[in-house]
Structure 1
Amino acid sequence: MDEAFKDIEELAKECKFSDCKHENEPWCRVRKAIEEGILDEKRLERYLRLKRETRFMESKQKRIMMVQQKNSINGKSKGYKRENHVRYEY
């Protein structure tokens, strides 16, 4: 993604704040580039959407790994065999 949007990544380095979201923050170099006609706003929208999707997928993958690790610690991995439970019929 960094290669595909290298121009935006370079502009973002010039933002005053390192956690700039490039939305409404003051001193955002990316927004200034849009105002100056250097950068197309639609391109920024695609970049921001892809960043959100990437964060979501990374978060989802992290949750999956945590559940797998927890299940492994609790003995619920695929190789774990449950004991036969006694079934009572009345």
Structure 2
Amino acid sequence: MRPECFLPFPEWSVPTKEEVTALLDISGLTQKQAATLVGLKDNNGRTFRRFTMGETPIAYAYWFILCQYAGLSNNYKNI
């Protein structure tokens, strides 16, 4: 994943669909589990499917929560 995906929001670059998929793989979560983790009322993981298909960019808050869950919080040294 690109370093600019781990910056504070003003400098943050939206992750690509491949980066979102990689983060889900690292976390070990399904799309449905990821949706539940970030507080989405998404019963089938449709929202995260849109992120991994590149239809919709992932929100910073969702990305940050998933990074925390996956143990990548050390990448956020400037926050």
TM-score, normalising length: structure 1:
0.22
- Which structure has more relative contact order (CA 8 Å, sep 6+)? It is 2
TM-score, normalising length: structure 2:
0.24
Hey, which of these two has a bigger chunk of helix by percent?
Answer: 2
The structure number with the bigger radius of gyration is 1
